[in-house]
Amino acid sequence: MKKLYLITGAAGHLGSALCAALHERGECIRALIMRGEDTTFLRTMGADVFFGDVTKPETLTPFFDAPEDVQTVVLHCAGVVDIASRENPAVGAVNVEGTRNVMRLCLEKKVQKVVYVCSVHAMPDLPKGMVKREIGRYDPAPLDGAYARSKARAAALVLNMAREEHLPAVIVLPSGIIGPYSGKGNHLVQLVKDYCRGKLPAVVKGGYDFVDVRDVANGVLAAADRGTVGESYLLTGNYHSLKETIAMLAQITGRRKVGAVPMWMARLAAPLAQRLAARRGKKPLFTPYALRVVLENARFSHDKATAELGYRPRGLYETLEDTVAWLEEAGEIPKAPSPAPKRCKRRVRTGAAG
């Protein structure tokens, strides 16, 4: 039977990578985006573009309507990531109620499989030295920040629908997504851009678990193919300090390194930097919330995804090389003094997630 992939949030970073991976596999794709978002890349990848808003279920009907002889697979990537201190009503509206609307339609339209793209931030923090693994229950109460709580609430409702209403859903939890393809709005891609444009004066101590967007895309597709309904899978990479990450970028591009400032200094400067970014209409990079995140325990195990989905993430150096090459080709950063190796032909790895 013919298969059709429906991707919400298709204009985002992961959505773009999913369209590219599915295009290379020769699959049929529908891409759901908001009015005003750029459709150029999605159409190049052969996607049929639909306009809709997950908070308005009546706008999603054409996107979900499919011939009876077609199996539909829904990849729900639509979401709002917000690391600012102020409350953003869109976070709950899109991440929770939007997810509820999509899952209701998945049940109504009897989709074959649905993969909900959650986040590692939906999981509680653990003391340093402990390794975080998949959990069976999501509780927003102990979590820090509206974004984390919204993803936990959405994951809880997806799991409940899978267990109580037989929704054929699988949850995947990526860590810090980075890599080529359209990364507008991605704070980690913005970090690379700022560094390459000479606009990153320093980084802070601390680090994060970085994962290549192409590996996450392959992990999502493997979860759609082989993931167990009602289960969660961590799609993480490897932990690196921000200082290590900038050192890799310096080696790749030939640009100078930047230092790390003490956390106390960063905490003092963060509120002012956030206000200045708001005045300029830009998203802040280092906010009080972001500073707390880089000090959390970011040690994850993706053993379950490796064993059940064949998931094997690549190293960060390769990801950064390809990110720089992509941004240079797209004209979003100037050419490096020491040009980065052009490895963009390897942007998408097909087959099993690895």
Distance of alpha carbon 32 from alpha carbon 276, whole angstroms: 33
Distance of alpha carbon 157 from alpha carbon 97, whole angstroms: 10
Q: What is the CATH number of the domain that holds 7?
A: 3.40.50.720
Cβ proximity of 252 and 324 under 8 Å: yes
Give the β-pairing of 259-261 and 202-204.
parallel
DSSP 229: T
Confirm whether 15 is domain-assigned: yes
Distance of alpha carbon 127 from alpha carbon 139, whole angstroms: 18
**What pLDDT sits at residue 348?**
42
Query: pLDDT-based confidence at 346, cuts 50/70/90?
Result: very low
> From residue 26, how far is each of 4, 19, 23, 190, 217 by CA, in Å?
11, 10, 5, 31, 15
Contacts 24+ apart (CB under 8 A), 37-44: 37/11, 38/11, 38/182, 39/11, 41/16, 41/181, 41/182, 42/10, 42/11, 42/16
> From residue 231, how far is each of 36, 108, 273 by CA, in Å?
35, 21, 40
Confirm whether 72 is domain-assigned: yes
Confirm whether 278 is domain-assigned: no
Query: pLDDT-based confidence at 187, cuts 50/70/90?
Result: confident
**What pLDDT sits at residue 306?**
98
Confirm whether 78 is domain-assigned: yes
Confirm whether 217 is domain-assigned: yes
Distance of alpha carbon 302 from alpha carbon 270, whole angstroms: 32
Distance of alpha carbon 32 from alpha carbon 338, whole angstroms: 39
Residue of 315, 309, 303 whose CA lies nearest to 352: 309
Query: pLDDT-based confidence at 15, cuts 50/70/90?
Result: very high
- Dihedral angle sign, alpha carbons of residues 34, 37, 42, 44: positive
Q: What are 132's two structure tokens?
A: 């975080």
Confirm whether 29 is domain-assigned: yes
pLDDT, tens digit, for every residue of 253-311? 999 989 888 876 777 776 776 777 667 666 666 777 787 888 899 999 999 999 999 99
Range of the structural domain that residue 176 is part of: 2-185+209-238+297-313
Confirm whether 75 is domain-assigned: yes
User: Which stretches of the chain are assigned E, i.e. beta strand?
Assistant: 2-8, 28-33, 48-51, 70-76, 113-117, 169-174, 176-178, 202-204, 207-212, 232-235, 238-241, 259-261
Confirm whether 52 is domain-assigned: yes
User: In which element (H, E) is residue 250 found?
Assistant: helix 242-253
Q: What is the mean pLDDT of residues 321-344?
A: 80
pLDDT, tens digit, for every residue of 220-257? 999 999 999 999 999 999 999 999 999 999 999 999 98
**What pLDDT sits at residue 351?**
35
| Count: domains in the chain | 1
Q: What are 235's two structure tokens?
A: 């799609």
pLDDT for 134 beyond 90: yes
DSSP 202: E
